């Protein structure tokens, strides 16, 4: 496994988007196993008088299409994401290497679903934990952190239980403790 791998997962329309009166035009499309396109629907098809690109291509090590119908051969289930990304992480960890899985994106783009999943369709984290547990007699340390609005929270602390398939509530009075990011002179950054 190389040092960094980039994966892009395209999610289906949300329930809210499906209920919306607006036209439901997919703007992100999986082209192949390494390419997605993003269409700027505000730029006309002719592009006349507009210097912006209408369609841009982005490349990644992996692309996962969860927008297409579940019955479609290219549909990316939670299991497919784990088999592709998770197995590489497990292989790396079993050789004694450190590993980090990072989900990044705007709110409501499917990060929590990909990472946590649901009771019937577990995400990457529960599947990784199960696979790591089966690696016995290895010892390992796991951290599960959320960075939101420049605040770091330990999702394994037990202070506020993590509901399945949902982010923790982000309102005033939330009992979660903010953690600090520090830098050790020789070991580098760490969370305190």
Say yes or no to pLDDT of 8 above 90: yes
Say yes or no to pLDDT of 16 above 90: no
> What is the total count of domains within the chain?
3
Query: Residue 86, SS3?
Result: helix
Residue carrying structure tokens 């199960």? 130
Instruction: Give the span between the Cα atoms of 39 and 48, in whole angstroms.
Output: 16
Phi, psi of 84 (to 5 degrees): -85, -55
Instruction: Give the span between the Cα atoms of 101 and 144, in whole angstroms.
Output: 10
User: In the prediction, which pLDDT does 166 show?
Assistant: 47
Q: Binding site annotation covers 111?
A: yes
Q: Indicate if 100 and 161 belong to the same structural domain.
A: no
Query: 132: closest CA among 91, 101, 100, 90?
Result: 90
What digits encode the pLDDT tens for the residues 45-104?
877 777 888 889 999 999 999 998 899 999 999 999 999 999 999 999 988 888 999 999
Q: Indicate if 30 and 89 belong to the same structural domain.
A: no
Q: Binding site annotation covers 112?
A: yes
Query: What is the number of other CB atoms lying within 10 angstroms of the CB of residue 119?
Result: 8
Q: Binding site annotation covers 47?
A: no
Residue carrying structure tokens 């051969």? 73
> Partners of 117 in the beta sheet?
122
Q: Indicate if 10 and 58 belong to the same structural domain.
A: yes
DSSP characters over 118-136: -SSSB-HHHHHHHHHHTTT
Q: Indicate if 55 and 102 belong to the same structural domain.
A: no
Q: Indicate if 67 and 89 belong to the same structural domain.
A: no
Q: Binding site annotation covers 103?
A: no
Q: Indicate if 137 and 149 belong to the same structural domain.
A: no
Instruction: Give the span between the Cα atoms of 51 and 129, in whole angstroms.
Output: 48
Q: Binding site annotation covers 42?
A: no
Reported as a pLDDT band with limits 50, 70 and 90, residue 171 is very low
Cis peptide leading into 186, omega within 30 of 0? no
Beta strands 28-32; 145-148: pairing state: unpaired
Instruction: Give the span between the Cα atoms of 120 and 26, in whole angstroms.
Output: 27
Report whether 146 contacts 155 (CB < 8 A). yes
Q: Indicate if 181 and 149 belong to the same structural domain.
A: yes
Q: Indicate if 2 and 27 belong to the same structural domain.
A: yes
Query: How far from the centroid of its chain's Cα atoms is residue 46's Cα?
Result: 34
Q: Binding site annotation covers 108?
A: yes
Q: Indicate if 189 and 151 belong to the same structural domain.
A: yes
pTM reported for the whole predicted model: 0.80
Structural domain range at position 27: 1-76
């Amino acid at each position: 496994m190389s040092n960094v791998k980039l994966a892009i997962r395209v999610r289906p329309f949300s329930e809210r988007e499906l209920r919306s009166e607006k036209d439901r035009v997919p703007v992100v499309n999986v082209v192949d196993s390494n390419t997605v396109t993003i269409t700027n629907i505000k730029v006309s098809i002719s592009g006349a008088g507009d210097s912006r690109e209408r369609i841009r291509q982005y490349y990644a090590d992996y692309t996962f299409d969860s927008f297409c119908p579940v019955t479609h051969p290219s549909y990316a289930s939670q299991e497919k994401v784990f088999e592709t990304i998770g197995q590489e992480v497990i292989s790396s960890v079993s050789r004694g290497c450190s590993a980090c899985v990072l989900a990044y994106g705007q709110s409501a783009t499917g990060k929590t679903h990909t990472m946590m999943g649901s009771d019937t369709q577990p995400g990457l984290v529960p599947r990784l934990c199960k696979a790591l547990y089966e690696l016995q007699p290895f010892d390992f340390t796991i951290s599960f952190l959320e960075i939101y609005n420049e605040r770091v929270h330990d999702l394994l602390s037990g202070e506020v239980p993590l509901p399945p398939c949902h982010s923790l509530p982000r309102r005033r009075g939330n009992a979660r403790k903010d953690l600090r990011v520090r830098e050790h002179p020789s070991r580098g950054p760490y969370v305190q």
